[in-house]
Structure 1
Amino acid sequence: MIASLTRRALYALATSTEVESLVRAIPPAQDLAYSAARRYVAGTTLDEAIETVRRLTAAGLAVSLDLFGEGAADEDELAATVRGYREAAAALADVGGDVYLEIVPSHLGLDLGFDVCRRHVEQLVEVLPAGARLEISAEESRRTPQIMDLTVALAEAGAPLVATVQANLRRSPDDVDRLLAAGVPIRLAKGAYLESADVAHAWGEGATVAFIKLAHRVHAAGSAPVLATHDAVVREALLEALPGAGVEMLLGVREDDARELVARGVPVRVYAPYGDSWFRYWMRRVAEAQGA
Protein backbone atom coordinates (compact mmCIF):
# COMPACT_ATOMS: atom_id res chain seq x y z
CA MET A 1 0.00 0.00 0.00
CA ILE A 2 2.78 2.44 0.92
CA ALA A 3 4.63 1.67 -2.32
CA SER A 4 1.44 2.21 -4.29
CA LEU A 5 0.79 5.54 -2.63
CA THR A 6 4.39 6.60 -3.21
CA ARG A 7 4.15 5.63 -6.86
CA ARG A 8 0.91 7.57 -7.26
CA ALA A 9 2.40 10.63 -5.58
CA LEU A 10 5.49 10.52 -7.77
CA TYR A 11 3.39 10.01 -10.87
CA ALA A 12 1.35 13.07 -9.94
CA LEU A 13 4.61 15.03 -9.71
CA ALA A 14 5.70 13.61 -13.06
CA THR A 15 2.61 15.04 -14.73
CA SER A 16 2.66 18.37 -12.92
CA THR A 17 3.47 21.38 -15.07
CA GLU A 18 3.92 23.46 -11.92
CA VAL A 19 6.59 21.16 -10.47
CA GLU A 20 8.50 21.01 -13.74
CA SER A 21 8.36 24.79 -14.12
CA LEU A 22 9.61 25.26 -10.58
CA VAL A 23 12.59 22.95 -11.08
CA ARG A 24 13.49 24.49 -14.43
CA ALA A 25 13.31 28.00 -12.98
CA ILE A 26 16.19 27.23 -10.61
CA PRO A 27 19.34 26.40 -12.62
CA PRO A 28 21.09 24.40 -9.86
CA ALA A 29 17.92 22.36 -9.31
CA GLN A 30 17.55 21.73 -13.03
CA ASP A 31 21.20 20.69 -13.34
CA LEU A 32 20.84 18.32 -10.40
CA ALA A 33 17.66 16.80 -11.83
CA TYR A 34 19.21 16.31 -15.26
CA SER A 35 22.27 14.72 -13.70
CA ALA A 36 19.96 12.12 -12.15
CA ALA A 37 17.91 11.76 -15.34
CA ARG A 38 20.85 11.45 -17.74
CA ARG A 39 21.15 7.66 -17.47
CA TYR A 40 17.63 7.33 -18.94
CA VAL A 41 18.00 10.00 -21.63
CA ALA A 42 19.83 9.73 -24.94
CA GLY A 43 20.59 13.45 -24.88
CA THR A 44 18.91 16.82 -25.15
CA THR A 45 19.92 17.32 -28.80
CA LEU A 46 19.74 15.09 -31.85
CA ASP A 47 23.55 15.04 -32.12
CA GLU A 48 23.83 13.73 -28.57
CA ALA A 49 21.10 11.19 -29.24
CA ILE A 50 22.82 9.87 -32.35
CA GLU A 51 26.03 9.36 -30.39
CA THR A 52 24.04 7.30 -27.88
CA VAL A 53 22.47 5.31 -30.72
CA ARG A 54 25.91 4.56 -32.16
CA ARG A 55 27.12 3.35 -28.76
CA LEU A 56 24.15 1.03 -28.39
CA THR A 57 24.28 -0.42 -31.90
CA ALA A 58 28.04 -1.01 -31.55
CA ALA A 59 27.18 -3.22 -28.57
CA GLY A 60 24.84 -5.32 -30.72
CA LEU A 61 21.64 -3.69 -29.49
CA ALA A 62 18.76 -2.51 -31.63
CA VAL A 63 17.34 0.93 -30.81
CA SER A 64 14.08 2.83 -30.89
CA LEU A 65 14.80 6.57 -30.97
CA ASP A 66 12.06 8.89 -29.71
CA LEU A 67 11.72 12.67 -29.50
CA PHE A 68 10.26 13.65 -26.11
CA GLY A 69 6.79 15.17 -26.05
CA GLU A 70 3.07 14.49 -25.89
CA GLY A 71 -0.25 16.30 -26.09
CA ALA A 72 0.55 18.77 -28.89
CA ALA A 73 -1.89 21.67 -28.65
CA ASP A 74 -1.55 23.66 -31.89
CA GLU A 75 -0.36 23.45 -35.49
CA ASP A 76 2.80 25.50 -34.89
CA GLU A 77 3.88 23.06 -32.20
CA LEU A 78 3.04 20.15 -34.50
CA ALA A 79 5.07 21.60 -37.35
CA ALA A 80 8.12 21.83 -35.09
CA THR A 81 7.58 18.26 -33.89
CA VAL A 82 7.32 16.91 -37.43
CA ARG A 83 10.52 18.75 -38.39
CA GLY A 84 12.25 17.21 -35.40
CA TYR A 85 11.11 13.71 -36.26
CA ARG A 86 12.04 14.16 -39.92
CA GLU A 87 15.53 15.29 -38.92
CA ALA A 88 15.84 12.23 -36.68
CA ALA A 89 14.71 9.93 -39.49
CA ALA A 90 17.27 11.47 -41.85
CA ALA A 91 20.03 11.05 -39.26
CA LEU A 92 19.16 7.39 -38.76
CA ALA A 93 19.91 6.69 -42.41
CA ASP A 94 23.61 7.27 -41.67
CA VAL A 95 23.85 5.44 -38.36
CA GLY A 96 23.71 1.81 -39.43
CA GLY A 97 22.36 -0.94 -37.25
CA ASP A 98 18.77 -1.82 -36.46
CA VAL A 99 17.15 1.49 -35.51
CA TYR A 100 13.45 2.35 -35.44
CA LEU A 101 11.77 5.71 -34.94
CA GLU A 102 9.37 5.79 -31.99
CA ILE A 103 6.37 8.12 -32.22
CA VAL A 104 3.85 9.28 -29.63
CA PRO A 105 0.48 9.86 -31.35
CA SER A 106 -0.57 12.78 -29.13
CA HIS A 107 2.80 14.41 -29.86
CA LEU A 108 1.76 14.35 -33.52
CA GLY A 109 -1.69 15.84 -33.04
CA LEU A 110 -3.97 12.97 -32.05
CA ASP A 111 -5.84 15.21 -29.60
CA LEU A 112 -6.55 17.63 -32.45
CA GLY A 113 -8.13 14.91 -34.57
CA PHE A 114 -7.50 11.52 -36.14
CA ASP A 115 -6.89 12.95 -39.62
CA VAL A 116 -4.48 15.59 -38.28
CA CYS A 117 -2.35 12.94 -36.63
CA ARG A 118 -2.47 10.55 -39.58
CA ARG A 119 -1.33 13.31 -41.95
CA HIS A 120 1.71 14.04 -39.80
CA VAL A 121 2.60 10.39 -39.34
CA GLU A 122 2.41 9.79 -43.08
CA GLN A 123 4.99 12.55 -43.56
CA LEU A 124 7.36 10.55 -41.39
CA VAL A 125 6.70 7.32 -43.27
CA GLU A 126 7.83 9.10 -46.43
CA VAL A 127 11.32 9.79 -45.03
CA LEU A 128 11.82 6.69 -42.93
CA PRO A 129 15.06 4.90 -43.88
CA ALA A 130 14.74 1.58 -45.69
CA GLY A 131 14.32 -1.30 -43.27
CA ALA A 132 13.25 0.90 -40.36
CA ARG A 133 9.84 0.92 -38.75
CA LEU A 134 7.71 3.39 -36.85
CA GLU A 135 7.17 2.07 -33.35
CA ILE A 136 3.91 3.54 -32.08
CA SER A 137 3.80 4.30 -28.37
CA ALA A 138 0.88 3.52 -26.11
CA GLU A 139 -0.69 6.33 -24.13
CA GLU A 140 -3.48 6.71 -21.57
CA SER A 141 -6.52 4.48 -22.07
CA ARG A 142 -8.64 7.46 -23.17
CA ARG A 143 -6.45 7.70 -26.27
CA THR A 144 -6.19 3.96 -26.95
CA PRO A 145 -9.22 3.60 -29.28
CA GLN A 146 -7.91 6.25 -31.67
CA ILE A 147 -4.37 4.89 -31.47
CA MET A 148 -5.61 1.44 -32.46
CA ASP A 149 -7.64 2.91 -35.34
CA LEU A 150 -4.61 4.91 -36.48
CA THR A 151 -2.28 1.93 -36.31
CA VAL A 152 -4.55 -0.35 -38.31
CA ALA A 153 -5.28 2.33 -40.91
CA LEU A 154 -1.58 3.01 -41.41
CA ALA A 155 -0.78 -0.70 -41.62
CA GLU A 156 -3.49 -1.24 -44.22
CA ALA A 157 -1.89 1.57 -46.24
CA GLY A 158 1.45 -0.26 -46.14
CA ALA A 159 3.30 1.67 -43.42
CA PRO A 160 6.02 -0.34 -41.63
CA LEU A 161 4.90 -0.35 -38.00
CA VAL A 162 5.22 -1.90 -34.59
CA ALA A 163 2.27 -1.43 -32.24
CA THR A 164 2.45 -1.16 -28.47
CA VAL A 165 -0.15 -2.93 -26.33
CA GLN A 166 -0.47 -2.37 -22.58
CA ALA A 167 -1.36 -5.67 -20.97
CA ASN A 168 -3.00 -4.09 -17.95
CA LEU A 169 -5.84 -2.63 -20.04
CA ARG A 170 -8.89 -4.86 -20.03
CA ARG A 171 -9.52 -4.13 -23.71
CA SER A 172 -6.09 -5.37 -24.79
CA PRO A 173 -7.01 -8.96 -25.81
CA ASP A 174 -9.37 -7.53 -28.44
CA ASP A 175 -6.73 -5.02 -29.53
CA VAL A 176 -4.17 -7.82 -29.88
CA ASP A 177 -6.54 -9.82 -32.09
CA ARG A 178 -7.23 -6.78 -34.26
CA LEU A 179 -3.55 -5.95 -34.69
CA LEU A 180 -2.66 -9.54 -35.49
CA ALA A 181 -5.39 -9.65 -38.13
CA ALA A 182 -3.85 -6.54 -39.69
CA GLY A 183 -0.38 -8.13 -39.66
CA VAL A 184 1.10 -5.63 -37.21
CA PRO A 185 3.98 -6.78 -34.96
CA ILE A 186 3.32 -6.21 -31.28
CA ARG A 187 5.46 -4.82 -28.50
CA LEU A 188 3.84 -5.86 -25.24
CA ALA A 189 4.21 -3.75 -22.10
CA LYS A 190 2.62 -4.24 -18.69
CA GLY A 191 1.26 -0.69 -18.66
CA ALA A 192 2.77 2.73 -18.15
CA TYR A 193 -0.10 4.80 -16.76
CA LEU A 194 -2.26 4.92 -13.66
CA GLU A 195 -5.73 3.76 -14.70
CA SER A 196 -9.01 3.11 -12.92
CA ALA A 197 -10.03 -0.43 -11.99
CA ASP A 198 -12.86 -0.49 -14.52
CA VAL A 199 -10.45 -0.16 -17.45
CA ALA A 200 -7.27 -1.80 -16.15
CA HIS A 201 -6.01 -4.69 -14.07
CA ALA A 202 -4.30 -3.75 -10.82
CA TRP A 203 -0.61 -2.91 -10.93
CA GLY A 204 1.40 -5.93 -9.84
CA GLU A 205 0.02 -9.46 -10.02
CA GLY A 206 -3.03 -8.57 -12.12
CA ALA A 207 -1.02 -6.79 -14.79
CA THR A 208 1.67 -9.49 -14.77
CA VAL A 209 -0.82 -12.30 -15.34
CA ALA A 210 -2.42 -10.34 -18.18
CA PHE A 211 1.02 -9.74 -19.70
CA ILE A 212 1.86 -13.45 -19.69
CA LYS A 213 -1.49 -14.44 -21.20
CA LEU A 214 -1.20 -11.87 -23.98
CA ALA A 215 2.36 -12.89 -24.83
CA HIS A 216 1.15 -16.47 -25.32
CA ARG A 217 -1.83 -15.19 -27.35
CA VAL A 218 0.45 -13.30 -29.73
CA HIS A 219 2.83 -16.24 -30.13
CA ALA A 220 0.00 -18.73 -30.68
CA ALA A 221 -1.17 -16.60 -33.61
CA GLY A 222 2.23 -17.07 -35.28
CA SER A 223 3.73 -13.70 -34.38
CA ALA A 224 6.85 -13.14 -32.27
CA PRO A 225 6.03 -10.79 -29.40
CA VAL A 226 8.48 -8.17 -28.21
CA LEU A 227 8.51 -8.32 -24.42
CA ALA A 228 8.88 -4.80 -23.06
CA THR A 229 9.64 -5.67 -19.44
CA HIS A 230 12.48 -5.58 -16.94
CA ASP A 231 10.89 -8.33 -14.86
CA ALA A 232 13.61 -10.97 -15.23
CA VAL A 233 11.49 -13.86 -13.92
CA VAL A 234 8.64 -13.21 -16.34
CA ARG A 235 11.03 -12.46 -19.19
CA GLU A 236 13.04 -15.67 -18.81
CA ALA A 237 9.95 -17.84 -18.47
CA LEU A 238 8.47 -16.36 -21.65
CA LEU A 239 11.69 -16.55 -23.65
CA GLU A 240 11.85 -20.25 -22.79
CA ALA A 241 8.21 -20.84 -23.72
CA LEU A 242 7.96 -18.60 -26.80
CA PRO A 243 10.76 -19.22 -29.30
CA GLY A 244 11.54 -16.15 -31.39
CA ALA A 245 10.33 -13.62 -28.84
CA GLY A 246 12.43 -10.50 -28.43
CA VAL A 247 12.96 -8.06 -25.60
CA GLU A 248 12.74 -4.29 -25.35
CA MET A 249 14.28 -2.39 -22.47
CA LEU A 250 14.60 1.22 -21.39
CA LEU A 251 17.85 3.10 -21.73
CA GLY A 252 19.63 3.13 -18.39
CA VAL A 253 17.71 0.23 -16.85
CA ARG A 254 19.43 -3.13 -16.24
CA GLU A 255 22.00 -2.60 -18.97
CA ASP A 256 23.94 -5.67 -17.79
CA ASP A 257 20.84 -7.76 -18.49
CA ALA A 258 20.63 -6.34 -22.00
CA ARG A 259 24.24 -7.24 -22.79
CA GLU A 260 23.81 -10.74 -21.35
CA LEU A 261 20.69 -11.33 -23.46
CA VAL A 262 22.49 -10.20 -26.61
CA ALA A 263 25.35 -12.59 -25.82
CA ARG A 264 22.76 -15.39 -25.66
CA GLY A 265 21.40 -14.48 -29.08
CA VAL A 266 18.20 -12.84 -27.84
CA PRO A 267 17.22 -9.79 -29.92
CA VAL A 268 17.15 -6.74 -27.63
CA ARG A 269 15.93 -3.27 -28.53
CA VAL A 270 16.58 -0.26 -26.30
CA TYR A 271 14.14 2.64 -26.08
CA ALA A 272 16.26 5.80 -26.28
CA PRO A 273 14.35 9.08 -25.91
CA TYR A 274 15.91 12.50 -26.36
CA GLY A 275 15.05 16.18 -26.31
CA ASP A 276 14.56 19.00 -23.85
CA SER A 277 11.31 17.66 -22.36
CA TRP A 278 13.04 15.02 -20.23
CA PHE A 279 11.76 16.00 -16.77
CA ARG A 280 8.41 14.20 -16.80
CA TYR A 281 9.91 11.09 -18.33
CA TRP A 282 12.52 10.94 -15.59
CA MET A 283 9.90 11.36 -12.87
CA ARG A 284 7.92 8.48 -14.36
CA ARG A 285 10.99 6.28 -14.16
CA VAL A 286 11.37 7.24 -10.50
CA ALA A 287 7.69 6.50 -9.89
CA GLU A 288 7.92 3.09 -11.54
CA ALA A 289 10.85 2.19 -9.33
CA GLN A 290 8.41 2.39 -6.41
CA GLY A 291 5.93 -0.07 -7.84
CA ALA A 292 7.11 -1.64 -11.05
Structure 2
Amino acid sequence: MAPLRRALYALATNPQLESAVHAVAPVEELAYHAARRYVAGRTLDEALTTVRRLVDHGLAVSLDLFGEGVDDEAALADVVDGYRRAAAALGDVDGDVYLEIVPSHLGLDLGADICRRHVEELVGMLPAGARLEISAEESRRTPRIVDLTLALAAAGAPVQATVQANLRRSPADVDRLAASGVPIRLVKGAYLEPASVAHPWGEETDLVYVRLARQVHAAGSGLVLATHDRVLREALLETLPGTTVAMLLGVREDDARTLVARGHPVRIYAPYGDSWFRYLMRRLAEAQGA
Protein backbone atom coordinates (compact mmCIF):
# COMPACT_ATOMS: atom_id res chain seq x y z
CA MET A 1 0.00 0.00 0.00
CA ALA A 2 1.52 3.32 -1.09
CA PRO A 3 2.23 5.65 1.89
CA LEU A 4 0.26 8.51 0.29
CA ARG A 5 -2.76 6.26 -0.29
CA ARG A 6 -2.64 5.05 3.31
CA ALA A 7 -2.31 8.62 4.62
CA LEU A 8 -5.25 9.88 2.54
CA TYR A 9 -7.38 6.98 3.69
CA ALA A 10 -6.52 7.79 7.31
CA LEU A 11 -7.61 11.38 6.72
CA ALA A 12 -10.85 10.16 5.13
CA THR A 13 -11.77 8.41 8.35
CA ASN A 14 -10.62 11.20 10.68
CA PRO A 15 -13.73 12.79 12.27
CA GLN A 16 -11.71 15.72 13.67
CA LEU A 17 -10.54 16.74 10.19
CA GLU A 18 -14.04 16.38 8.79
CA SER A 19 -15.49 18.52 11.58
CA ALA A 20 -12.79 21.15 11.08
CA VAL A 21 -13.56 21.40 7.35
CA HIS A 22 -17.29 21.80 7.99
CA ALA A 23 -16.67 24.38 10.74
CA VAL A 24 -15.14 27.02 8.44
CA ALA A 25 -17.52 28.04 5.65
CA PRO A 26 -14.91 29.13 3.04
CA VAL A 27 -12.89 25.95 3.62
CA GLU A 28 -16.03 23.82 3.40
CA GLU A 29 -17.09 25.43 0.11
CA LEU A 30 -13.60 25.01 -1.34
CA ALA A 31 -13.58 21.33 -0.40
CA TYR A 32 -17.10 20.81 -1.73
CA HIS A 33 -16.09 22.41 -5.01
CA ALA A 34 -13.45 19.67 -5.34
CA ALA A 35 -15.94 16.98 -4.30
CA ARG A 36 -18.83 18.12 -6.49
CA ARG A 37 -17.90 16.04 -9.52
CA TYR A 38 -18.19 12.87 -7.43
CA VAL A 39 -21.29 13.85 -5.45
CA ALA A 40 -24.91 13.84 -6.60
CA GLY A 41 -25.75 16.63 -4.17
CA ARG A 42 -25.99 17.58 -0.52
CA THR A 43 -29.79 17.18 -0.46
CA LEU A 44 -32.16 14.61 -1.90
CA ASP A 45 -33.63 17.20 -4.29
CA GLU A 46 -30.16 17.99 -5.65
CA ALA A 47 -29.42 14.28 -5.96
CA LEU A 48 -32.63 13.62 -7.89
CA THR A 49 -31.70 16.36 -10.36
CA THR A 50 -28.39 14.57 -10.93
CA VAL A 51 -30.13 11.20 -11.24
CA ARG A 52 -32.52 12.52 -13.90
CA ARG A 53 -29.60 14.00 -15.85
CA LEU A 54 -27.84 10.64 -15.86
CA VAL A 55 -31.00 8.77 -16.87
CA ASP A 56 -31.54 11.21 -19.73
CA HIS A 57 -28.11 10.16 -21.03
CA GLY A 58 -29.11 6.50 -21.11
CA LEU A 59 -27.45 5.53 -17.84
CA ALA A 60 -28.81 3.47 -14.99
CA VAL A 61 -28.17 4.79 -11.46
CA SER A 62 -27.64 3.57 -7.91
CA LEU A 63 -28.66 6.27 -5.42
CA ASP A 64 -27.01 6.16 -1.99
CA LEU A 65 -27.19 8.31 1.14
CA PHE A 66 -23.67 8.92 2.46
CA GLY A 67 -22.70 7.37 5.76
CA GLU A 68 -21.52 4.32 7.69
CA GLY A 69 -20.89 3.02 11.18
CA VAL A 70 -24.03 4.36 12.90
CA ASP A 71 -24.11 2.97 16.45
CA ASP A 72 -26.50 5.43 18.08
CA GLU A 73 -30.28 4.91 18.09
CA ALA A 74 -31.13 8.59 17.64
CA ALA A 75 -28.72 8.98 14.72
CA LEU A 76 -30.05 5.77 13.20
CA ALA A 77 -33.61 7.11 13.26
CA ASP A 78 -32.50 10.09 11.16
CA VAL A 79 -30.66 7.84 8.71
CA VAL A 80 -33.65 5.53 8.30
CA ASP A 81 -35.88 8.53 7.64
CA GLY A 82 -33.44 9.74 4.98
CA TYR A 83 -33.42 6.37 3.24
CA ARG A 84 -37.23 6.21 3.41
CA ARG A 85 -37.49 9.51 1.58
CA ALA A 86 -34.98 8.35 -1.01
CA ALA A 87 -36.82 5.05 -1.58
CA ALA A 88 -40.14 6.86 -1.95
CA ALA A 89 -38.64 9.34 -4.42
CA LEU A 90 -37.45 6.64 -6.82
CA GLY A 91 -41.02 6.11 -7.97
CA ASP A 92 -41.00 9.63 -9.41
CA VAL A 93 -37.94 8.99 -11.60
CA ASP A 94 -38.59 7.62 -15.07
CA GLY A 95 -35.53 5.40 -15.35
CA ASP A 96 -33.58 2.39 -14.11
CA VAL A 97 -32.66 3.50 -10.58
CA TYR A 98 -31.67 1.29 -7.65
CA LEU A 99 -31.37 2.25 -4.00
CA GLU A 100 -27.99 1.42 -2.49
CA ILE A 101 -27.50 0.96 1.23
CA VAL A 102 -24.47 0.60 3.49
CA PRO A 103 -25.43 -1.95 6.18
CA SER A 104 -23.52 -0.27 9.01
CA HIS A 105 -25.30 2.97 8.10
CA LEU A 106 -28.56 1.18 8.84
CA GLY A 107 -27.58 -0.19 12.23
CA LEU A 108 -25.62 -3.37 11.46
CA ASP A 109 -23.28 -2.61 14.36
CA LEU A 110 -26.27 -2.33 16.67
CA GLY A 111 -27.47 -5.78 15.64
CA ALA A 112 -28.18 -7.78 12.50
CA ASP A 113 -31.90 -7.96 13.36
CA ILE A 114 -32.11 -4.18 13.70
CA CYS A 115 -30.45 -3.67 10.34
CA ARG A 116 -32.59 -6.29 8.63
CA ARG A 117 -35.80 -4.75 9.95
CA HIS A 118 -34.93 -1.38 8.46
CA VAL A 119 -33.73 -2.87 5.18
CA GLU A 120 -36.91 -4.91 4.77
CA GLU A 121 -38.95 -1.75 5.22
CA LEU A 122 -36.98 -0.04 2.45
CA VAL A 123 -37.38 -3.04 0.14
CA GLY A 124 -41.13 -2.74 0.59
CA MET A 125 -41.01 0.89 -0.53
CA LEU A 126 -39.08 0.31 -3.77
CA PRO A 127 -40.92 0.82 -7.05
CA ALA A 128 -41.46 -2.20 -9.31
CA GLY A 129 -38.27 -3.28 -11.05
CA ALA A 130 -35.88 -1.58 -8.65
CA ARG A 131 -33.32 -3.49 -6.63
CA LEU A 132 -31.70 -2.84 -3.29
CA GLU A 133 -27.96 -2.75 -3.84
CA ILE A 134 -26.02 -3.78 -0.73
CA SER A 135 -22.63 -2.15 -0.41
CA ALA A 136 -19.43 -3.81 0.76
CA GLU A 137 -17.62 -2.70 3.90
CA GLU A 138 -14.54 -3.68 5.92
CA SER A 139 -13.80 -7.40 6.17
CA ARG A 140 -14.83 -7.46 9.84
CA ARG A 141 -18.39 -6.75 8.72
CA THR A 142 -18.37 -8.94 5.60
CA PRO A 143 -19.72 -12.17 7.18
CA ARG A 144 -22.73 -10.34 8.62
CA ILE A 145 -23.35 -8.52 5.33
CA VAL A 146 -23.27 -11.75 3.32
CA ASP A 147 -25.62 -13.43 5.80
CA LEU A 148 -27.98 -10.43 5.64
CA THR A 149 -27.97 -10.49 1.84
CA LEU A 150 -28.71 -14.22 1.69
CA ALA A 151 -31.52 -13.90 4.25
CA LEU A 152 -33.13 -11.09 2.28
CA ALA A 153 -32.81 -13.03 -0.98
CA ALA A 154 -34.37 -16.12 0.63
CA ALA A 155 -37.34 -13.96 1.65
CA GLY A 156 -37.78 -12.85 -1.96
CA ALA A 157 -36.20 -9.39 -1.71
CA PRO A 158 -34.72 -8.02 -4.98
CA VAL A 159 -31.16 -7.53 -3.71
CA GLN A 160 -27.79 -7.21 -5.37
CA ALA A 161 -24.59 -8.03 -3.49
CA THR A 162 -21.19 -6.36 -3.66
CA VAL A 163 -18.11 -8.60 -3.51
CA GLN A 164 -14.58 -7.31 -3.01
CA ALA A 165 -12.07 -9.19 -5.17
CA ASN A 166 -9.15 -8.50 -2.87
CA LEU A 167 -10.68 -10.36 0.08
CA ARG A 168 -9.37 -13.92 0.32
CA ARG A 169 -12.81 -15.17 1.38
CA SER A 170 -14.56 -13.87 -1.75
CA PRO A 171 -14.54 -17.08 -3.88
CA ALA A 172 -16.56 -18.85 -1.18
CA ASP A 173 -18.89 -15.85 -0.84
CA VAL A 174 -19.47 -15.85 -4.60
CA ASP A 175 -20.42 -19.54 -4.46
CA ARG A 176 -23.00 -18.90 -1.71
CA LEU A 177 -24.49 -15.80 -3.34
CA ALA A 178 -24.62 -17.26 -6.83
CA ALA A 179 -26.25 -20.46 -5.52
CA SER A 180 -29.03 -18.26 -4.13
CA GLY A 181 -29.44 -16.41 -7.42
CA VAL A 182 -28.12 -13.10 -6.08
CA PRO A 183 -26.64 -10.78 -8.74
CA ILE A 184 -23.12 -9.68 -7.87
CA ARG A 185 -21.39 -6.35 -8.37
CA LEU A 186 -17.67 -7.12 -8.37
CA VAL A 187 -15.31 -4.42 -7.05
CA LYS A 188 -11.58 -4.60 -6.46
CA GLY A 189 -11.89 -3.51 -2.81
CA ALA A 190 -10.89 -0.17 -1.32
CA TYR A 191 -10.44 -0.76 2.42
CA LEU A 192 -7.12 -1.12 4.20
CA GLU A 193 -6.90 -4.78 5.20
CA PRO A 194 -4.13 -7.01 6.62
CA ALA A 195 -2.33 -9.39 4.26
CA SER A 196 -3.89 -12.36 6.05
CA VAL A 197 -7.33 -11.14 4.95
CA ALA A 198 -6.75 -9.49 1.57
CA HIS A 199 -4.57 -9.76 -1.50
CA PRO A 200 -2.27 -6.77 -2.07
CA TRP A 201 -3.46 -3.94 -4.31
CA GLY A 202 -2.23 -4.24 -7.88
CA GLU A 203 -1.56 -7.21 -10.15
CA GLU A 204 -2.49 -9.89 -7.61
CA THR A 205 -5.91 -8.37 -6.96
CA ASP A 206 -6.41 -7.82 -10.70
CA LEU A 207 -5.83 -11.52 -11.40
CA VAL A 208 -8.28 -12.52 -8.67
CA TYR A 209 -10.80 -10.04 -10.11
CA VAL A 210 -10.66 -11.82 -13.47
CA ARG A 211 -11.10 -15.25 -11.87
CA LEU A 212 -14.04 -14.10 -9.78
CA ALA A 213 -15.75 -12.41 -12.74
CA ARG A 214 -15.55 -15.68 -14.66
CA GLN A 215 -16.78 -17.59 -11.60
CA VAL A 216 -19.85 -15.37 -11.28
CA HIS A 217 -20.61 -15.54 -14.99
CA ALA A 218 -20.21 -19.32 -15.11
CA ALA A 219 -22.62 -19.68 -12.19
CA GLY A 220 -25.28 -17.86 -14.20
CA SER A 221 -25.66 -15.09 -11.64
CA GLY A 222 -25.98 -11.53 -12.88
CA LEU A 223 -22.52 -9.95 -13.10
CA VAL A 224 -21.73 -6.26 -12.75
CA LEU A 225 -18.14 -5.20 -13.37
CA ALA A 226 -17.45 -2.25 -11.08
CA THR A 227 -14.08 -1.00 -12.28
CA HIS A 228 -12.58 1.95 -14.10
CA ASP A 229 -9.63 -0.16 -15.25
CA ARG A 230 -10.10 0.01 -19.03
CA VAL A 231 -7.79 -2.88 -19.90
CA LEU A 232 -9.35 -5.22 -17.35
CA ARG A 233 -12.89 -4.17 -18.20
CA GLU A 234 -12.47 -4.51 -21.98
CA ALA A 235 -10.87 -7.95 -21.68
CA LEU A 236 -13.76 -9.21 -19.57
CA LEU A 237 -16.51 -7.63 -21.68
CA GLU A 238 -15.02 -9.39 -24.69
CA THR A 239 -15.45 -12.82 -23.10
CA LEU A 240 -18.42 -12.38 -20.73
CA PRO A 241 -21.47 -11.29 -22.77
CA GLY A 242 -24.44 -9.70 -21.08
CA THR A 243 -22.35 -8.06 -18.39
CA THR A 244 -23.25 -4.69 -16.89
CA VAL A 245 -20.60 -2.09 -16.02
CA ALA A 246 -20.77 0.00 -12.85
CA MET A 247 -18.89 3.28 -12.52
CA LEU A 248 -18.59 6.10 -10.02
CA LEU A 249 -20.16 9.47 -10.64
CA GLY A 250 -17.54 11.90 -11.93
CA VAL A 251 -14.96 9.27 -12.91
CA ARG A 252 -14.25 8.70 -16.62
CA GLU A 253 -17.69 9.85 -17.72
CA ASP A 254 -16.59 9.68 -21.37
CA ASP A 255 -16.01 5.94 -20.91
CA ALA A 256 -19.56 5.53 -19.58
CA ARG A 257 -21.08 7.29 -22.59
CA THR A 258 -18.93 5.28 -25.00
CA LEU A 259 -19.92 1.99 -23.37
CA VAL A 260 -23.62 2.87 -23.62
CA ALA A 261 -23.18 3.79 -27.30
CA ARG A 262 -21.61 0.35 -27.82
CA GLY A 263 -24.62 -1.33 -26.27
CA HIS A 264 -23.22 -2.12 -22.82
CA PRO A 265 -25.50 -1.21 -19.89
CA VAL A 266 -23.81 1.14 -17.43
CA ARG A 267 -24.93 1.92 -13.88
CA ILE A 268 -23.56 5.02 -12.12
CA TYR A 269 -23.11 5.14 -8.34
CA ALA A 270 -24.57 8.50 -7.26
CA PRO A 271 -24.10 9.26 -3.54
CA TYR A 272 -25.50 12.29 -1.78
CA GLY A 273 -25.74 13.84 1.68
CA ASP A 274 -23.68 15.70 4.25
CA SER A 275 -20.81 13.19 4.57
CA TRP A 276 -19.31 14.08 1.21
CA PHE A 277 -15.89 15.10 2.59
CA ARG A 278 -15.07 11.58 3.74
CA TYR A 279 -16.05 10.28 0.32
CA LEU A 280 -13.85 12.86 -1.43
CA MET A 281 -10.81 11.79 0.57
CA ARG A 282 -11.44 8.16 -0.28
CA ARG A 283 -11.65 8.98 -3.97
CA LEU A 284 -8.33 10.80 -3.71
CA ALA A 285 -6.80 7.85 -1.84
CA GLU A 286 -7.99 5.29 -4.38
CA ALA A 287 -6.59 7.40 -7.21
CA GLN A 288 -3.08 6.76 -5.84
CA GLY A 289 -3.23 3.03 -6.61
CA ALA A 290 -0.48 0.81 -5.18
Q: TM-score, normalised by structure 2?
A: 0.99
Aligned twin of 1:9: 7
1:125, distance to aligned residue in structure 2 (A): 0.9
Structure 2: 5+ residue runs without aligned partners?
none
**Would you say the 8 A contact 2:63–2:271 is kept in 1?**
yes
- Give the whole-Å Cα distance in 2 for the aligned partners of 1:223 and 1:265: 20
1:133, distance to aligned residue in structure 2 (A): 0.4
SS of corresponding position for 2:182: coil
1:272, distance to aligned residue in structure 2 (A): 0.1
SS of corresponding position for 2:117: helix
Aligned twin of 1:289: 287
List per-residue Cα deviations over 1:25-59 (Å, max 9, x = no partner). Answer: 21111110000000000000000000000000000
Aligned twin of 1:136: 134
The answer as to 2:232 corresponding to 1:227 is: no
Aligned twin of 2:71: 73
The answer as to 2:235 corresponding to 1:244 is: no
- Give the whole-Å Cα distance in 1 for the aligned partners of 2:220 and 2:107: 33
Aligned pair partner of 1:114 in 112, 115, 125: 112
Aligned twin of 2:58: 60
Aligned twin of 1:195: 193
1:224, distance to aligned residue in structure 2 (A): 3.4
Aligned twin of 1:101: 99
AA aligned to 2:136 is: A
- Give the whole-Å Cα distance in 2 for the aligned partners of 1:24 and 1:89: 27
1:166, distance to aligned residue in structure 2 (A): 0.1
- Give the whole-Å Cα distance in 1 for the aligned partners of 2:74 and 2:181: 34
Aligned twin of 1:259: 257
- Give the whole-Å Cα distance in 1 for the aligned partners of 2:153 and 2:74: 27
- Give the whole-Å Cα distance in 1 for the aligned partners of 2:13 and 2:234: 33
AA aligned to 1:67 is: L
List per-residue Cα deviations over 1:174-225 (Å, max 9, x = no partner). Answer: 0000000111000000002111100000001111111110000011112231
- Give the whole-Å Cα distance in 2 for the aligned partners of 1:19 and 1:209: 36
Q: CA RMSD in A?
A: 0.8
List per-residue Cα deviations over 1:107-141 (Å, max 9, x = no partner). Answer: 00000111010011011011111110000000000
Matches within 5 A, 1:207-222: 207-222=205-220
Aligned twin of 2:184: 186
Aligned pair partner of 2:175 in 171, 177, 180: 177
- Give the whole-Å Cα distance in 1 for the aligned partners of 2:223 and 2:232: 14
SS of corresponding position for 2:133: strand
1:24, distance to aligned residue in structure 2 (A): 1.4
- Give the whole-Å Cα distance in 2 for the aligned partners of 1:122 and 1:79: 15
SS of corresponding position for 2:77: helix
Aligned twin of 1:153: 151
- Give the whole-Å Cα distance in 1 for the aligned partners of 2:207 and 2:192: 17
Q: TM-score, normalised by structure 1?
A: 0.98
- Give the whole-Å Cα distance in 1 for the aligned partners of 2:260 and 2:170: 29
**Would you say the 8 A contact 2:182–2:222 is kept in 1?**
no
Aligned twin of 2:33: 35
Q: Which runs of 4+ in 1 moved over 4 A?
A: none
Aligned twin of 1:49: 47
1:163, distance to aligned residue in structure 2 (A): 0.2
Structure 1: 5+ residue runs without aligned partners?
none
